[in-house]
Structure 1
Amino acid sequence: MGPFAVPEIDFGPGKLHHVGIVVPDSDAAVQHFEDLYGLPIRLLPESHYHCRIDGVAHSTVQRLGLSIEGPPHVELLREVPESTVWHSRSGVHHLGFVVDDLAAASAELERRGSPLWMGGLAGGQCPVGTAYHRDSLGLTIELLDAATAARLATRLNEAR
């Protein structure tokens, strides 16, 4: 097993799905990435995200953008005022990886010392679709199941 390999998870650079960046103004950020880097990003329609943050149920309306090229994608997340999660003070917010078995991969990261910080919530179950873990250095890793990655791809295709 390599230095970044965890059962059910491959953190090799070729497996990176996206780099998430929280921005204060989605439209301005899209223009910024296009003008400065020549990187076209499409904003997706707003969507509700139901999750647990530090064990407490939350719901927010989020608007995200994805680079047309990818994976890996650049993912822009709109800042949510007063949020402990979606704030633009930190630069890169997280790295996202697609995993085959979300529950097993999340449990393994937790077992290795990277506790579940936030996860998608459906029917009282967590994590569903996504799981965010933070390590002792403050790095946040998002695990996405294949169905969530496919939904993002579909939404991106529809936004093109």
Structure 2
Amino acid sequence: MKAEDLFHFGMVTDDPSAVRDELSNLLGYSWGPEVGGPVSVALPSGDAVVTLQCSYSVTTPRIEVVTSVPGTMWQATSGVHHLGYWSDDVDADVADLERRGYTVEATRAAPDGGLFFAFARSRTGLLVELVTRAAEPGLSGCWAVQR
């Protein structure tokens, strides 16, 4: 993992429209489409399907606004929920974070059997999302300028 691989700050909220509007009105942010749907994830409590909805800012630094999912790690917080990084090897990076004392809170399998994404939390509370760099071409459509 490298600092330059940071590609977004994630915020989780009960009112994503209000958060996007506030960031637009205050700071001039523009937004890509809202995307999402049911996602199969592995949680410490077992496998689950959660409905994840989010939108990314077109404006940088990029912000991801996620709709809260009660009873999961995707619950509304004040401020930054997580830092999202591209990873060339999510499995290896997760193993490295675990060696450093991070606890894995959620993962999603990739079609190739590896990890598509993983969320891991440090002892101090920092939540890091690792996303396979192979997803970058598809995800970049989430912050393409809308016309």
Per the normalisation by structure 2, the TM-score is 0.87
Contact in 2 for aligned 1:55/1:118 (Cα 8 Å)? no
Choose the corresponding residue for 1:59, options 38, 41, 49. Answer: 49
Matches of 1:38 and 1:145 in 2, distance apart?
29
The residue number in structure 1 matching 2:65 is 76
Deviations 1:55-95 (A, max 9, x none): 5111111210101034x410000011x32311113421100
Alignment of 1:100-119 (within 5 A): 100-119=88-107
Matches of 1:100 and 1:119 in 2, distance apart?
16
**Shift in Å, 1:157:** 2.7
Mark the CA change 1:36 to 1:158 in structure 2 (over 3 Å): closer, same or farther: closer
Deviations 1:2-52 (A, max 9, x none): xxxxxxx11x2x331110000111222221111111111223233222111
* Aligned residue identity for 1:77: V
Matches of 1:122 and 1:55 in 2, distance apart?
20
Matches of 1:57 and 1:144 in 2, distance apart?
19
User: Which segments of 5 or more consecutive residues in structure 2 lack a partner in the other structure?
Assistant: none
Contact in 2 for aligned 1:117/1:133 (Cα 8 Å)? yes
* Aligned residue identity for 1:76: V
User: Which segments of 5 or more consecutive residues in structure 1 lack a partner in the other structure?
Assistant: 1-8
Identical residues among aligned pairs (%): 27
* Aligned residue identity for 1:30: R
Count of paired positions: 146
* Aligned residue identity for 1:115: T
Choose the corresponding residue for 1:147, options 113, 129, 134. Answer: 134
The residue number in structure 2 matching 1:5 is none
Deviations 1:91-144 (A, max 9, x none): 211001111111111111112211222111357x5x621111111001100111
- Alignment pair present for 1:24 and 2:14: yes
Runs of 4+ in 1 over 4 A off after TM superposition: none
Mark the CA change 1:122 to 1:98 in structure 2 (over 3 Å): closer, same or farther: closer
Contact in 2 for aligned 1:66/1:74 (Cα 8 Å)? yes
Matches of 1:121 and 1:57 in 2, distance apart?
11
Contact in 2 for aligned 1:43/1:63 (Cα 8 Å)? no
- Alignment pair present for 1:96 and 2:84: yes
